[in-house]
Amino acid sequence: MQYSYITPEAIDTFIHQALQEDVGDGDHTSLASIPKGVQGRAQLILKDSGILAGMDVAKRIFECVDPALQLTINMKDGDRFEPGQIALTVSGSVHSILTAERLVLNTMQRMSGIASYTNQLQSLIAHTKAKVLDTRKTTPNFRMLEKWAVKIGGGVNHRYGLFDMILLKDNHVDFAGGIKQALQHSKKYIQETGKDLRIEIETRNLKEVQEALEEGGAFRIMLDNMSPAQMKEAVLLINHKAETEASGGINENTIVAVAESGVDYISIGSLSHSYKSKDMSLKAF
Catalytic residues: 102, 137, 169, 202, 224
* Contact between 100 and 65 (Cβ < 8 Å): yes
HSE (side-chain half, CA atoms, 13 Å) at 100: 31
Beta-bridge partners for 280:
46
d(CA 277, CA 145): 14
d(CA 23, CA 99): 7
d(CA 45, CA 275): 20
Distances (CA, A) of 53 to 104, 251, 252: 11, 21, 21
* Contact between 148 and 181 (Cβ < 8 Å): no
User: Which ranges constitute the DSSP H helices of 45-93?
Assistant: 55-65
Q: Compute the Cα dihedral for 66, 71, 76, 80 and give only its sign.
A: negative
- Strands of 243-247's sheet, edge to edge? 131-133, 265-267, 243-247, 220-224, 199-203, 166-168
